[in-house]
Amino acid sequence: MTALRADTFPEDAVRERARLGAAAVFPPLSDYGGALLGEPQGPAPADALDATRLVPPVFMPRRLEKLIDLAREPLHGDVDLESTVGGFAARLPLYLSAFGSTRAVGTDLGRAAAAQAGALGIPMVVGENVVPVDGFTGERSLLARITAYADHAPDGVGGVVVQQSTEDADAEVWNRVYSDPATRPLLESGRLGFELKVGQGAKPGIGGLTVVDRAQADRLAGQYALEPLIDPAGDRVLRCASPGTFTDEILRQQIRLMRNNYPRARVWVKLPPGRDVAAAADVAWQAGADAVTVDGAEGGSGWAPTASLAGVGLPLAECLRRIGSPRGCLLVSGRVWEGLRAVKCLAAGATATGLGRAALLAVDENPQSGLTRLVEAMTLELRLLISALGKYHPSALSTEDLWSPAGWPVPAEQVVAARG
Amino acid sequence: MDTTTSAPVDPRAHLTSPSTRAVLRVQHRVLDAVREHLGGEGFTEMLPPVIGPVTDPGARGAKQVDVDYYGHRYKLMTSAILYKQASLTAFDRIFCIAPNVRLEPLETSSTSRHLAEFHQIDVEVAGASRDDATRVAENLVVHVVRRVVERCAPELDVLGRDPDAFADLLSGQAFDRRTHASAVADLHDTGHAQNPDAEIDWTGEALLSSKSSRPFFLTDYPKGSRGFYDRENPAAPGHLLNFDLLAPEGYGELCSGSEREHEYATIVARMRETGENPAKYAWYLKMVREGVPGSAGFGIGLERLVRYLCGLDAVWQANAFPKIPGVVSP
């Protein structure tokens, strides 16, 4: 365990799951037979997704279908969680979201998370700016994370998706990954992908930011904008990456060029929680993206101005509402760490949910098995909750399974307007 | 001669083999004929740079080679395109025999048609349209082939290449041209899964090429398949005023060319569409901003042309010191 903190995140609960695994899904065993349980009286819901409830029906025709199939009453263990996530076969409707070169991911956390994600058979995204800062080869490098994943992944499942920022493009990260002998087994088994990063979840409109010391800043000068104002007394400097300029045509053509240049790789597109997220997602799917990932404004692991964190960008619930019924594979992240929020996202249209900060905290708590245990707990919750809705695969979930005081579905005309 | 696609084991054995010597003599004759023809058409031969702060971003995933230039990251040229456009501020019609280095993806090691180091016969004409450029390319190829047939009979004999293979090319009939979209439709009809938004893949190119008895042009590639410098057709947005020239008999692409973008703002926007960082292209954008002529041009792969002329199984056989992608070679 390091000094890693996540003050705006249920850190203690995540760390507990990283220690206890599925046991943490339930109240303490010592309460059994003694405590009278009911809805917990916690703080007010943090956002619209938290305020939304899953609402199982009384009548369950799909459970009847399953009963006929099994010739017995179905149980939660009958929920099949195997999913296709952004073109990859995955054991669960989950993926490891990107974390890049930010210092919180330094040392061994990136590799520890990669190894466990591989063993779990869920796709992993490697964030931007790893190569310009930590290098392509070496202990902390991009290749170290990729090989840690590949060494632990069972045959035929999972996949590694590599982001490329503007600065990464200067370092030709995708070209290098696509041509490196070390990635060839992933490429040849259809388990390599590239993610075009259109923006930052936690700070829409701003590029990636990291704090570096003066010596490192001198080395990076010319590749990044450097902002010395943040540490007047010391020698630390803010390194600012460009967010890049996009129009619908730029996005469409960049996706087509990726498909042209890397025909054997999957193409993912990461969108910021912008007000036109639905229109942008449609452009991406129509241009052939295998997945669109959307980070709610509540997500993100990186450094950002407090003003951005407090008040810029759409929350995940609103992104999901605006996208409505997705045309393609929609992957979402933003404060997801347990099964309830994940199932709500799946019911609202997502194919899978990403673990970002939760995964980092879990491997920080226990580098050998923290993420494995966290996911073990989520897996049990996913099965319990999906079967409670009378359904037996994540793809069967829909907005009928959601209720919120404000009403879940967005009127069709608003969706059309948002798509332009 | 070793007719497999693997690299030669030993440079001495490769260089001294009768077939390699025949191939290199044909290559020499090709270069002679190029200079003879283009010189006669008023072209000035330029010597292209080998390194520079930026090079053609290219496509299909080839990696560039970095060079430490007194502390600055320079690149070995992947093509001469940026310098070709710039050179038109000196002369209206230029050509060069340009060495290029592209660290192609490893999967290209088995295509029989990729080298990590190769040469292009690069041509650029100020004020020209695509039709002007295809005309120059066609006349050049016909001239070169005619010269090789006239003057390299002993070499073709050593190589077992029947000169009648070029009868159709030399018949005086114009090369056929067809659009990318119609080629995609044909490939779909034969059951080949070609992405309509991308370059014709290598298998697809070989299929199209094997159906023809003389070279033909493929035109109007979709925008997302080529570099920022190929001009978008104002009358058909999303399509480029460009072309490839494919050899017959399954040999595939010989040449790529296009009418060029030359307006500053359009080039910057196209750079973004191809994921490029305009900041890298400072010298080029400064020139473009101050004005470069509109133009059209092309690059013919020298080794590919020689492979076709000599009827070789693999393109490495047309290079004295071949470097197959991923293979460590002298």
Chain A positions touching B62 (Cβ under 8 A) are: 175, 179
* CA A120 to each of CA A152, A267, B1, B132: distance values in angstroms, whole numbers, following the listed order: 9, 22, 51, 59
Q: How does the average pLDDT of chain A come out, rounded?
A: 87
What does the pLDDT average to over A110-119?
A: 93
Cβ atoms within 10 Å of A328's Cβ, excluding its own = 17
Q: Is the pLDDT of residue B161 over 80?
A: yes
Confidence tier at A180 by pLDDT (50, 70, 90): confident
pLDDT, tens only, A270-291: 999 999 999 999 999 999 999 9
What are the residues whose beta carbons fall under 8 Å from the beta carbon of B273, sequence distance 6 or more?
A249, A250, A253, A254, A257, B223, B224, B228
pLDDT for A201:
63
φ/ψ of residue A317, rounded to 5:
-55, -40
CA distance B130 to chain A (A): 22
Confidence tier at B128 by pLDDT (50, 70, 90): very high
Mutate: best of B273, B324, B328, partner A, most A CBs <10 A: B273
A194 touching B, CB under 8 A? Answer: no
Q: Is the pLDDT of residue B219 over 60?
A: yes
What does the pLDDT average to over A23-35?
A: 84
- Residue predicted with more confidence, A362 or A167: A362
pLDDT, tens only, B163-204: 999 999 999 999 999 999 999 999 999 999 999 999 999 899
**Angstrom distance (rounded) from CA B36 to CA B49:** 23
CA distance B182 to chain A (A): 18
pLDDT for A107:
58
What does the pLDDT average to over B306-329?
A: 94
What does the pLDDT average to over A169-198?
A: 90
Contact B107 A260 (CB under 8 A): no
Q: Is the pLDDT of residue A100 over 60?
A: no
Chain A segment 203-232 residues within 8 A of B by beta carbon are none
What does the pLDDT average to over B10-26?
A: 96
CA distance A253 to chain B (A): 5
What does the pLDDT average to over A198-219?
A: 74
Amino acid of residue B157: D
Mutate: best of A192, A198, A219, A253, partner B, most B CBs <10 A: A253
Question: DSSP per residue over A323-363, as a string?
Answer: H-S-SS-EEEESS--SHHHHHHHHHTT-SEEEESHHHHHHH
Note whether B325 and B106 are within 8 A (CB). Answer: yes
User: What proportions of chain B, in percent to the nearest 5, are helix, strand and coil?
Assistant: 40, 20, 40
Nearest to B60 among A181, A242, A261 (CB): A261
3-state secondary structure of B242: strand
Nearest of A361, A355, A313, A316 to residue A338 by alpha carbon: A355
Q: Is the pLDDT of residue B290 over 70?
A: yes
Contact B277 A178 (CB under 8 A): no
What does the pLDDT average to over B219-248?
A: 96
pLDDT, tens only, B251-275: 999 999 999 999 999 999 999 999 8
Nearest to A259 among B104, B195, B272 (CB): B195
Chain A positions touching B106 (Cβ under 8 A) are: 179, 181, 184
**Angstrom distance (rounded) from CA A181 to CA A311:** 44
pLDDT for A191:
97
ipTM of this complex: 0.86
Question: Nearest chain A Cα to B226, which residue?
Answer: A257
**Angstrom distance (rounded) from CA A8 to CA B248:** 65
Contact B61 A181 (CB under 8 A): no
Query: β-strands A209-213, A291-295: how paired?
Result: unpaired
Chain A positions touching B61 (Cβ under 8 A) are: 174-175, 178-179, 261-262
- Residue predicted with more confidence, A67 or A216: A67
Q: How does the average pLDDT of chain B come out, rounded?
A: 94
By CB atoms closer than 10 A (0-12, 13-18, 19+), residue B219 is: buried
Which pair of tokens denotes residue A319? 């992104």
pLDDT for A413:
45
Q: Which of A17-21, A251-255, B169-173, B203-207 has the lowest mean pLDDT?
A: B203-207
A254 touching B, CB under 8 A? Answer: yes
pLDDT for A235:
80
Name the percent of chain B lying above pLDDT 70. 97
Q: Is the pLDDT of residue B1 over 50?
A: no
- Residue predicted with more confidence, B8 or A415: B8
Chain A segment 39-98 residues within 8 A of B by beta carbon are none
- Angle B166-B167-B168 from CA coordinates, rounded to 5°: 95
Which runs of consecutive H residues, i.e. helices, occur in A171-247? 173-179, 184-188, 214-220
- Residue predicted with more confidence, B60 or A316: A316
Map tokens 């063993």 to a residue: A119
**Angstrom distance (rounded) from CA A2 to CA A104:** 9
Note whether B132 and B125 are within 8 A (CB). Answer: yes
Confidence tier at A403 by pLDDT (50, 70, 90): very high
Count of all residues that appear for chain B in the document:
330
**Angstrom distance (rounded) from CA A247 to CA A266:** 22
Which pair of tokens denotes residue B99? 């060495």
Q: Is the pLDDT of residue A323 over 50?
A: yes
